[in-house]
């Protein structure tokens, strides 16, 4: 059973945890989470908490394919007021910062965040891993081939599962050497992968359990869901739930989602299913 030490608050992953996505970007790929005012942000945060989110993940920089980078200062201007707002109204909820800037991570933790979620696993800011070690918070370490600007161009793997596994072996060692105690691995669905690569990773997700780290699956309303179905991201809730269920079945400990209620139902039903199968209830 995995646990996370979130600045002194011990979080159990005996039952899969839900991470609710709060985007404060003007160009989110899913328009339901575009930049909003304070009242809208608070309503969204409350809705996610009531529906079962254990973490709220706040991001101020788009990482959709082809997106352009903004500076750490621009990102801070977007996320810090939101962190302060949510912390003021919901003191007990765990907050995560979705950033690849070490300076943003440091400032966010100072303001009450207790998890750092880095899509680049330290590749885009070499100071990130030592910074997270000094902050003493859990670190979501994601695999991405390239950068958001380039990741969906000329995507080639000899064996995507093996390459991502090898990447995590090296990154976990680097995090451990730096002094990070709680590392969460994220295969990076949609980040430098084709739809076929994403499904290969999903099918073989249990392989990553050999690393003895919690696995985060971020599939919510992505192209991997809606493109095979010839629908839009706005129509991809049912498909997302199907893939989230497969991720849970194959070993995911955390689901990063836009739609908490439906993900919670998938988690609850999977727990009943596992109990019935193993007579563990």
Q: Look up 222 and say whether it is catalytic.
A: yes
Helices marked H in 90-216 — which ranges?
Answer: 102-110, 128-135, 160-178, 195-203
Q: Look up 73 and say whether it is catalytic.
A: no
Summarize pLDDT for 55-111 with one digit per residue, the tens. Answer: 999 999 876 666 577 899 999 999 999 999 999 999 999 999 999 999 999 999 999
Q: Where are the domains of the chain?
A: 16-62+70-278
Q: Which of 9, 256, 264, 274 is catalytic?
A: 256
**254: nearest Cα among 227, 224, 214:** 214
Stronger pLDDT, 276 or 226, i.e. the higher one = 226
pLDDT of 69: 76
User: Could you tell me whether strands 254-257 and 17-23 are parallel, antiparallel, or unpaired per DSSP bridges?
Assistant: parallel
Q: Which of 222, 227, 261, 264 is catalytic?
A: 222
Picking from 37-51, 54-68, 160-174, 226-240, which range would have the lowest pLDDT averaged per residue? 54-68
Rg of the chain in Å (alpha carbons): 17
Stronger pLDDT, 277 or 186, i.e. the higher one = 186
Global model pTM greater than 0.95: no
Phi, psi for 262 (deg, rounded to 5): -70, -35
Placement of tokens 């793997």 in the chain: 157
16-62+70-278 has CATH 3.40.50.1370 classification: no
Mean pLDDT of 39-64: 92
In angstroms, rounded to a whole number, what is the distance separating the alpha carbons of residues 18 and 2?
15
In angstroms, rounded to a whole number, what is the distance separating the alpha carbons of residues 238 and 166?
33
Residue 221's Cβ-count burial label (10 Å; 0-12, 13-18, 19+) is buried
pLDDT of 30: 42
Q: Is 127 left (phi over 0), alpha (psi -120 to 50) or beta?
A: alpha
Residue 42's Cβ-count burial label (10 Å; 0-12, 13-18, 19+) is middle
Summarize pLDDT for 202-236 with one digit per residue, the tens. Answer: 999 999 999 999 999 999 999 999 999 999 999 99
User: Could you tell me whether strands 55-59 and 3-6 are parallel, antiparallel, or unpaired per DSSP bridges?
Assistant: unpaired
């Amino acid at each position: 059973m995995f646990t996370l030490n979130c600045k002194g608050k011990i979080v159990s992953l005996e039952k899969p945890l839900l991470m609710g996505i709060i985007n404060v970007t003007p160009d989110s790929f899913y328009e339901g989470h575009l930049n909003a005012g304070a009242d809208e942000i608070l309503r969204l945060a409350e809705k996610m908490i009531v529906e079962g989110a254990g973490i709220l993940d706040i991001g101020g920089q788009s990482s959709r394919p082809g997106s352009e980078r903004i500076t750490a200062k621009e990102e801070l201007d977007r996320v810090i007021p939101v962190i302060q707002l949510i912390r003021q109204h919901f003191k007990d909820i765990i907050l995560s910062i979705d950033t690849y800037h070490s300076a943003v991570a440091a400032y966010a933790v100072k303001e009450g965040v207790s998890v750092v979620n880095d899509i680049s696993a330290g590749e885009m800011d070499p100071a990130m891993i030592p910074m997270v070690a000094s902050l003493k918070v859990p670190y979501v370490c994601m695999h991405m081939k390239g950068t958001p600007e380039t990741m969906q161009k000329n995507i080639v793997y000899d064996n995507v599962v093996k390459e991502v596994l090898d990447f995590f072996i090296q990154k976990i060692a680097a995090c451990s050497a730096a002094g990070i105690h709680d590392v969460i691995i994220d295969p990076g669905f949609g980040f430098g992968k084709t739809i076929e690569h994403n499904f290969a990773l999903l099918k073989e997700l249990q392989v990553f359990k050999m690393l003895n780290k919690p696995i985060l699956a971020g599939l919510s309303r992505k192209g991997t869901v809606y493109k095979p179905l010839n629908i839009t991201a706005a129509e991809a809730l049912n498909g997302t739930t199907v893939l989230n269920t497969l991720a849970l079945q194959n070993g995911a400990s955390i689901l990063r989602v836009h739609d908490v209620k439906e993900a919670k139902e998938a988690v609850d039903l999977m727990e009943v299913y596992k109990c019935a199968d193993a007579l563990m209830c």
